Amino acid sequence: MKNFAGSSRKDPNITSKNVGDFPFLKIPLPEQKAIAKLLSLMDSTINQNNELITQKELRKKWLMQNLLTGKKRLKGFGGEWKEEKLISVADIRRGASPRPIQDTKWFNSKGRGWIRISDVTKSHFYLNSTTQYLSDAGADRSVKVDRGDLIMSICATIGIPVIVNIPACIHDGFVLFRNYERRLTTFFLYYFIQYISEKLSGEGQPGTQKNLNTSIVGNIRLLLPSIKEQVAITQVLQAADKEIQLLKTKTEKLREQKKGMMQLLLTGKKRLKLNNNEDNRNRN
């Protein structure tokens, strides 16, 4: 359709003449109805799957609200949880950028990944790749992170945690958490940040873009159960996450199937076989 768009404006648009001139195959009416019915069934399946995703996400949210705050306890666990400031249980370091950032000498086609917010938002749980890489000189002027490190976004899109799975570097739009293993598991901290992400967005410092600093992050309070209970809680949340991801993968596969069906059925490359009864019904 883009090839038919025409305009003297910077962004092309489609006119009624473009639409009128657009070529299409004249499919017999009974077959049109059969194709429409099949595609409608695909849409219904996709919508039902998406509704299930919404239900599972709400369930996960309920689990985080209750399990990460001690409102609900898993069977076999008791005792009081201790409230702590994050700074008292973890080292928190803000990222840094080589300056001037426009200088090409800081970048390379390979090396340590240069983590940007777009890399984090398209990741789930683990960050496995970046679109940019730093040179050795660039990495030396940034903050290095390695496999297993937990980072969190603190600028613009605030409060998104991710576990780094490649050698990389972070700029000052992220903070790095380290040396918390004696009191916290990585997964428990990951889910706790995910749980409070909306609250963190509201606490950002005003400016061109909202942002947090290490002081604000360090003053975050959390309740700490035993390491054993933390592990049990995160296993429940990981199971909920797995269900959601499987359903999202199913939705993507269904969308691809529908796209493939449209490419075949709407171009006549694949024809539907109609029996006589179906043909007669579709003609009425």
- CA–CA dist 50, 34 (Å, integer): 25
- pLDDT-derived band at 121, boundaries 50, 70, 90: very high
* pLDDT value for 20: 64
Domain map (residue ranges) of the chain:
28-78+234-284, 82-224
Q: Give 148-158 pLDDT, tens digit per residue.
A: 999 999 998 89
Domain 28-78+234-284 has CATH 2.60.40.10: no
- pLDDT-derived band at 72, boundaries 50, 70, 90: very high
The token pair that represents 283 in the structure block: 């003609």
Least confident of 8-22, 129-143, 173-187, 256-270: 8-22
**Model-level pTM?**
0.83
Q: Do residues 82 and 223 touch, judged by C-beta distance below 8 A?
A: yes
Is the pLDDT at 145 greater than 80, yes or no?
yes
Is the pLDDT at 230 greater than 70, yes or no?
yes
Matching CATH number, 82-224, of 3.40.50.150, 3.90.220.20, 3.40.50.2000, 3.40.640.10: 3.90.220.20
User: Is 201 or 178 the better-scoring residue by pLDDT?
Assistant: 178
* pLDDT value for 156: 83
Least confident of 67-76, 124-133, 275-284: 275-284
